[in-house]
Amino acid sequence: MKRYIFLALLALMTTYSGYSQEIPDVKIKDFTLELKDDNKLNVDIEIDLSQLNVKTTQVVILTPCVINGADTLKLKSVAVYGRNRRIYYKRNEHIRPTVAGDITLTKSEARDVVTYSTSIPFSDWMDGCSVEIKRNDCGCCGHTTEVASTEIVDRFPIEAYYPELIYLRPEHENVKTRQISGSAFIDFPVSKTVIYPDYRNNTVELAKITGTIDSVKNDKDVTIKSISIKGYASPESPYDNNKRLAKGRTEALKAYVEEMYHFDNVTFTTDYEPEDWEGLERYVEASSLPHKEQILETIRSDRNPDTKEWIIKSTWKQEYRHLLDHCYPALRHSDYVVEYEIRSYSDPIEIEQILHTAPQNLSLEEFYILAQTYEPGSDKFNDLYETAVRIYPNDPVANLNAANSAILKGDYRSAARYLNKAGDTPEAIYTRGALEVYMENNEAAKPYFEEALKQGNTKAEAALTEIAKNRHIYKMNDKQ
């Protein structure tokens, strides 16, 4: 099976843009952001000011800011004062450009690396925030101007990791062979093998068969290859007579169908079961009849059919009468199977047309071909794979692909249900781990990824690395 890798639309990795080289004469040596268990955001920065040139009448103010959309929180600043400005603001505290709590230095004190540390409550609006450092210069006239800013983190906490979802390309079908089947309950006069279409409910029962055949015969993309009929009689009356009836009535039904359609190049086969003891066993087993176990023991015995029927009839007369009235009529049935071939489709436009008119005609591979033309994660994309799994409910690949689509929709319950039928391929095991990650159960995901990796799934290695990360800590040096 070929593999198609879909990268979840949710961002999987965070990119951190340029550092403090964008601020003239200032270099960020290191920084760490950590969201603590008490919901406090710790900000630690190492700022190299050794190259900073501050005029004697100037103040350079560096302010880290937490930004998310229209919301901004300025953290405490680092201010480097020129000599004259320092003296001036000592005499005029009320117009000082910095406030209590800010780090204030003279030019002579700013010859090395300054350690900056602060802690603030982490509010809901900060989730997904960026962190910038802004430089503002204050001159001799007291006017403050923003000179430069640099983004040191473009998202924090680091965006949640969502594993890649692996869609498998189903196997190609050289010939698309399908079957449609059903059961009809044709009534015959006692001991007769001739079909009377208007007798009792035969109009309805015969219409079941012709309706099934017509449903495929009238499809221009379908060719009927064979029709098989198997007739059953009930255990009532001697076995030899039931054998005659089952065989004769099956042949009569075959003749009726052949006369109705006059097929060319269609193979007809027939079979018969003189007495449907399996059907009788299923009925009794599901019933609450008195002496149920004794009757079942008789049905399952090795006695000849006539002896078994006589024992039930003579020993449990009331139960036998119930079976005659409520069970035996259903044991006289004709099961039929229509086998047909469907032409293949390769054009996505045509496949989409068939999807809306006769989706049962599409192979799993054709569903996959159409999916490549849809936006991954879109409603059409997800609905397509859900349709595929409805038509092929027991196919492991259909269930795996449907599980991926359900994960993207956030329908984790359906995803788990599909994965129960997705088999134990490395891709299915990996996807079970991916589901746990999407449900924020990283520890539960780990053994799945480990097993998938052991079985050769290379994506599992990256997944194991990602789920081991603490996404509430960001260190500059981790990215250098």
CATH code for the domain in which residue 141 is found: 2.60.40.150
CA distance 109 to 50: 10
Residue 212 three-state SS: helix
Q: What is the rounded average pLDDT of the residues 32-46?
A: 88
Q: Which of 214-228, 434-448, 464-478 has the lowest mean pLDDT?
A: 464-478
Contact predicate 232/333, CB 8 Å? yes
Q: What's the CATH number where 215 sits? A: 3.30.1330.60
Closest-CA residue to 357 (of 210, 169, 261, 218): 218
DSSP type of residue 96: -
Contacts of 295 by beta carbon, 8 Å cutoff, 6+ apart: 284, 289, 312, 316, 319
Please indicate, yes or no, whether residues 308 and 432 belong to a single structural domain of this protein. no
Token output for 426: 């490395």
4 found inside a domain: no
**What's the structural domain count of the chain?**
3
Angle at 205 between CA 200 and CA 210, to 5 degrees: 135
Q: What is residue 212's predicted lDDT score, i.e. its pLDDT? A: 95
Mean pLDDT, rounded, for 181-201:
94
Range of the domain at 118: 20-156
Would you say residue 453 has pLDDT above 80?
yes
**Same domain flag for 77 and 190:** no
CATH number of the domain that residue 349 is part of? 1.25.40.10
Q: What are 419-437's pLDDT values in tens digits?
A: 999 999 999 999 999 999 9
Evaluate whether residue 2 is within a structural domain: no
**Residues 252 and 386 occupy one common structural domain:** no
The answer to whether residue 198 sits within a structural domain is yes
pLDDT digit string (tens) for 87-140? 888 888 878 888 888 998 888 887 788 999 999 999 989 988 999 999 999 887
**Per-residue pLDDT for 476 more than 70?**
no
pTM (two decimals): 0.70
Read off the pLDDT of each residue in 55-73 and give the average, rounded to a whole number.
93
Work out the percent of the chain whose per-residue pLDDT is above 70: 93
CA separation for the pair 297, 240 (Å, rounded): 23
Co-location of 306 and 181 in the same domain: yes
97 occurs within a structural domain: yes
**Shared domain check, 247 and 122:** no
Clarify whether residues 313 and 185 are in a common domain.
yes
Angle among Cα 245, 246, 251 to the nearest 5 degrees reads 95
Of the pLDDT bands very low, low, confident and very high (cuts 50, 70, 90), residue 470 is low
Where residue 12 falls among pLDDT bands split at 50, 70, 90?
A: very low
Query: In this predicted structure, what is the pLDDT of residue 333?
Result: 95
Average pLDDT over residues 346-353: 97
Determine the average pLDDT of the residues in 159-186: 93
Same domain, 336 and 356: no
Q: Calculate the alpha carbon distances from 263 to 203, 225, 257 in Å.
A: 22, 10, 9
Report the C-alpha gap between 412 and 359 in whole angstroms.
Answer: 25
Is the domain of 294 the same as that of 389?
no
115 and 89 in a single domain? The answer is yes
Tokens (6 digits) for 237: 């009356």
Residue 7 lies in a domain: no
Asked whether the predicted pLDDT for residue 11 surpasses 70, the reply is: no
